[in-house]
Structure 1
Amino acid sequence: MTSLQSRHIDNVYSIATGGALLADPAASLVHKSWARCVRDHGLDPSRPTPARILPAQEVRAHQQQLEHFLRAARAGMEDIYRRVADLGYMVLLTDAEGITVDYIGNPAWDDQLRRAGLYLGADWNEAHAGTCGVGTCLVERQPLTCHQTEHFDATHIALTCTTAPLFDHGGKLTAILDVSALRSPEARESQHLVRHLVSIYARMIEDADFLRHFRGHWILRLGSAFGLVDVAGEVMLAFDDSGTLAGANGGARQVFAGQPLLHGGSVSELLHLPMDAIWRLGNSAASAMPFAHTVLLPGGGEYHASLIAPRVRRVATPTQTTPRPSDRLPPLARIAGDDDPAMQKLLAQARRLVDRGIHVLIEGETGSGKEVLARALHGASRRAALPFVAVNCAAIPDSLIESELFGYTPGSFTGGRAKGMKGLIAQADRGTLFLDEIGDMPMALQTRLLRVLSEGEVLPLGAESPQRVDLAVVAATHRDLWSLVAAGRFREDLYYRLCGAVLQLPPLRARGDRRYLIEAMFHEEAAATESTARLSEAAMQRLMAHDWPGNLRELRNVLRLALALCTGTSITPEDLRLAPHRSAPDHRDATPASADSDDSADTVRLLDALQRHRWHVARAAQELGISRATAYRRMQRFGIVAPQRG
């Protein structure tokens, strides 16, 4: 250990255990993080830890959660890297858990970057890595720089990391954009320009994802600079042909803070303009009189306007406010081909469930298309123009799932947003709430969810009175919920609330319409990459013969890679990268008796690993090949308590 590292450890320990926070906001933010690391995460500054890199299989699972968002993010990462590469910087992207899902760096520095944790699969969550650009940005939810000795861990004090949070089209924290360097000037001011650049690109990535998601809607762009409004509109509003708001980008959420941007609101009412005037804004970019196409927003800001027409065909026409049932069915119909009677029967059932007020439970293996079916049900309903909010109950850490689902009021707990946060359930009001992997929801939250479903009310953390919500609920699981009920791991009353109707999705290997699915997905991927390649019959036969343990998700990845590798005009079997044949994975829970047996073995393995690693949960989880959140969840389920807490 160097003398610099030794002094750093003393400084961190002194401030984290009672030293006064400095007046400088940036320093105060870092010192608050140091205190959290010691007090809340149990980290010891005198015991530096090497970078934690997740196994490739776990990294792929994290990447799949951001599948659509990664496309826009990658384009932004490549552009910013071209601007900073010569200065010694690299670029990485993490998900909302702090796991690195994409990165770009100089290949000559691969070994150094991996040792420093600036690499694919690195875990930069503050609970494991201490104060750092990514982990602290996840907590503070604002752009920041963690420069050299501002890092908690002494092994990171040579690094400088500048980060910005990325929010999806619904305002949910989705990823962190990070620009880091192994070496940099000592002065913190040297990173000011980089921080400005990262903030700009974060907004560009968010807006690109917004435009992709709402490509079937009218989008009104509002910008302060007349000549740049078409390419740099700070405020964007998405709405349908009737003027009903469907989405707002980050700039709009800031400008219209406190105003109803969704839930059936009207763009005309929001802007205090008649719809005829809004339609005329479409010609603003070509106007010789920019003052004729300006909009006054709250606070007196004057913005120039540009209107973007839908880029894909929509079902509804400008005179239709509610699509006819016959117009709303095609999205469901496209899920399956005519060659699979079982799927056609399932879709016929799904059509009858639309707008009937019945909660739906979708069962099926991982990757079999449960969320696709849920979105199709939403798109075929009267709620189609309103929010579809997807919640992966297995992906949100236990420490965050309650606040993420139910939201919280200002001042509810340390580290929360000053203005509080609207929970995902409330965000889905009047729309559809999709609860993926519902079998992994902690028991304590199952009780609160039951109240939402039975009473139509949600109570945010810290609130005194509940608020009404109107929800269509679709849940999904790859597990046998009834076995979980029998084993005491899932509430029976919640089970009956959720399974008003059960739709069982078959795995890809069992579907008779595999050729239809392969062709449809291939055309989607080819169109997305503007590829003119075709799928040869030999390649099709190989795809048809594959057992597809990863189901539709695996198929999409295989086709995407084949299009990237193809050098000719035709995809051949040599372009396909298929996993070796193996017996189909059993994703279903066993019977209660065998579940108890599995629990016993899992308990022993987890307890063993925790004792070997002196109750360091992250290291035990890494050894077992599971996420930290899963380890904590199993500790709670098995009643395992660390000795110092006993």
Structure 2
Amino acid sequence: MSNSSDLHVDRVLRAASGVVPSSDTPDSLIHRSWHRCYHQHGLDPADCFDPCVESASRVRTSRERMEEYLQVARSGMEQLFKHVVDLGYVLLLTDAEGITIDYIGNDTWARDAQRFGLYLGANWQEHIAGTNGIGTCIQEQTALTCHSADHFYANNTGLSCSTTPLFHPDGRLMGVLDVSAQAQSDARESQHLALHLTRLYGRMIEDATFMRHFRDRWILRLATNWALVDVTGDMLLAFDADGVLLGASAAARQWLRALPPRRGADAVVGRHLMDLFDCTMDDIWRLARAPDAMERSLLSLVDQRSYFSSVIVPRVRAVGDGPLREAAEPAASVPVGAALRRLAGEDRKMRALQHQAQRLANRRINILIQGETGSGKEVFARALHESSERRHKPFVAVNCAAIPESLIESELFGYTAGTFTGARSRGMKGLIVQAHGGTLFLDEIGDMPLHLQTRLLRVLSEHEVLPLGAEQPVRVELTVVAASHRDLRQAIAAGTFREDLYYRLCGATLLLPSLRERQDLDYLIHLILEEEGREAGVPAAISDEAMALLRRCPWPGNIRQLRNALRYGLALCDEAGILTEHLPPEIGAGMPHAAPTLQAPPAAPMADRPAPPPAMAAARPPEAERLQALLHAHRWNITAVAAKTGQCRTTIYRQMKRFGIVSPVDAGNTPH
């Protein structure tokens, strides 16, 4: 061994035997690697490094698995090679395991490059090749230069390598881009330009992969230079039509991890854009409609930094209501909690919804559940809570339509002693405070009065509750899950629901399918029979004929109607289980043993109906007409209408007041 080799080995061993440096200077990165190679991998710097080459089938398998990544990376490598070809460099691309899967060479020193192991199939993992640009880059997950004597093995000191890690849009390491040459100078600083170019093109490859991966999603591009915002971005964020984050570029992930704990945890997916920017979703959608960068906004982030921004529209969008609808894509597979998993069989829509809900369960993000009456919104909300890390904290459910309007404020926000006549002597803790640390479920949020919407908005924005009669607010930390069967956007247009509250509530929107849309009716029937039969202490069997009858029902009342029908059947059946004659009359109409179908009384003649107020007669919404028809069909029996629609009597009265519907009794008439 030559004197220079002896000196190198001695230097490596002295550094490896010392204290492991914790800083991230170039020297400390190299010294940490030497320490790992000697103590963890059991390597000897005096040994002669012999390149380890994987089989052709192993390389082919890796290339096939990473085909899309390779296509993008190869284009970037070809562009980079044009800048360094005259300087004697070769380019390598590896997978996440350090195996070279692509190579662009330099004919002037091709033989020497092969001697050093710079060719396809070479394995540059640190535990095999010692300290080197690729293996150490994989270990440290950062761009670096491994120049000459930085290498662990003495016979690799003739190399100079600059590398950068390449990350997938989901944060996984894809591989490493490497620019290598024969070492010409003793100074690592001589490779500064090579390292800069490697980082630059590595970033371009990452961003191009990100754009391709999320080509069917909305992408927010952020740049410090307005003239370049349409060309390149400092950060990229992919999101869906509800503003929920689906992915972030490596630079954006680094920024998100640096946010204070209240705003940003380690995870990225599931966070809402409005938690990251001091703006509204309307500002984001205006960016998508802007014709050029000159008109695009300077968005302010929560850490007071500002970026020029542009929004890239999805390449494929579903036909829908407005610019916020994009092509639907199933959520990526995640472990779903038992409570959520139990809610559905093999229905594709519900499976996708379960995965989406699970990904949101532990995020500090408010959720809006929408679906028809009886579709199981509260059950889904409770399952989401039980599948979250908050499961041991309170789940407080509030039906905004069932609480009398005069009591909603005191029930939600609480009050101090002596606030009003009839109040409890010690005051009362409001439902919002009771949900501290857990989940507050606001059912039928569309029925909340406007003045209380304003107070709720303050709670969501400030995380504080001011009880009635109190002078000091109470701090609360909670996740709000709201639900409504109404289209809240229509309510916003009608002036009955605050737009700013809507965007606070719908950090993510989950749309429950109706029962008639689902493909797992049999699963739900047996699930409900098991639950109800266990509670009633009766057999949970059902005949094939009864099952066939249930399959043919359109289920306008959704799961609530199905559960009521099965409860009815269990109450009437014997040990043989539910037969067709045990099902409710409306389910068994037309069957041999079915009870007679109950016919609703004829509706009152149009002449007997009280005329609506002039303001309502001009433009009455369809739901008002449906409600009036139901009231006439049930002879103005509010209880019967409430049972038919699955709502409470208070909601029916409130709807009648809203639409100006007056019963014949109140109008001074007697129904026929």
When normalised by structure 2's length, the TM-score is 0.48
Query: Larger Rg: 1 or 2?
Result: 2
